[in-house]
Structures are given as C-alpha cells and as structure tokens.
Amino acid sequence: MSGSTDAPNTPSLQLQAFLRWADAMTVKQDPVALAASVTEDFQYQSLPKSTGLPARDKASFVEYASSLMAMMSDFKSDIHEVIETDDTITVHASGQATSITGALYANEYIIIVHVAKQADGEYKLSSMKEFVDSKGMTEFMAAETKRQQERAAQAAA
C-alpha cells in the first residue's frame, strides 16, 4: 500500500492480514490474492446502508472488487489511524485513483474488519464493514458511467 500510515513498523499478524487484503485490492489489483486474503465464509457490507449496496459473500465480493479494479489505475491510499483488538481491526483511510476515463477518484473510509486465525497460524479476514463517503461515491459512479457511455457512443459512431 502506498502512502503514509500510522501502522506499526512491525504490524501484528492480524494487521498483516488486513494489509495483505489492502495490497491485493489497491496496489496489485489482484483478484486471486484478494480471494486468498479472506476466509471461505467471508461477509462484506458497504455502509451506510443508504448506498443501497447489497451485503456480499466471498464470491460476490471478489466479483464486485474485480469490477472496481478494472475501472481504476494508479490507486494510492493512506492509512490515518488503526485501532486493533485480538480479532478486530478498525482503519481510517483515504484513497485516490484514476478512472479508466481519466477522472480522479477520491474517497475516505472507515473499515471494520474481523479476522480469523487459520490452521497454519496466519490470519484472514472473515468479515468487513466498509463505510465510504457515500455522496462522493454516488456522484463519482454516476459521472463515470456517463463518461463510459459517451465513449462507447463515440466509438460506435
């Protein structure tokens, strides 16, 4: 993950699990690594619920994340704060990227993650609640969809 962070220089095994997820999602943009960072029974919810986004299991989350990855490049993120207990990590972060149409994407997140220790001693994410700047996300997605439709119409003409 690029950018600044207040994460410790020697993060706990639990925080390492989150950082693997974040790296797969933003830096590598790798759906296989993303899927490997979560448990088989992983549950994801984008919040607030007013965004209208559904809860997702592992398969639907990886599919959803893959579609977001395909829309973005040059993703940079900053971790502003990490709060950790034995099985829960809360992260305040922000991110910026460039969309496939060249538009700037910027958002702010509060991410609450539960982790589960695996048989090999490694931790994986078992659930995630991701609070986003819903106004910024809604406006960006509407504008990006319009830009993509305009490009497709121009290409077809």
H or E element in which residue 21 lies: helix 13-22
What pTM was computed for the model? 0.84
Q: How many CA atoms lie within 13 A of 125 on its CB side?
A: 31
- Indicate whether 3 belongs to any domain: no
- Indicate whether 111 belongs to any domain: yes
DSSP, collapsed to helix, strand or coil, labels residue 45 as strand
Look up the CATH number of the domain holding residue 34.
Answer: 3.10.450.50
Residue pLDDT tens, the chain, 157 long:
444 445 567 899 999 999 999 999 998 999 999 999 999 999 999 999 988 889 999 999 999 999 988 888 888 999 999 999 999 999 999 999 988 888 888 899 999 999 999 999 999 999 999 999 877 777 877 777 888 888 888 888 8
- Indicate whether 6 belongs to any domain: no
Domain containing 110 equals 13-156
The tally of domains found in the chain comes to 1
- Indicate whether 1 belongs to any domain: no
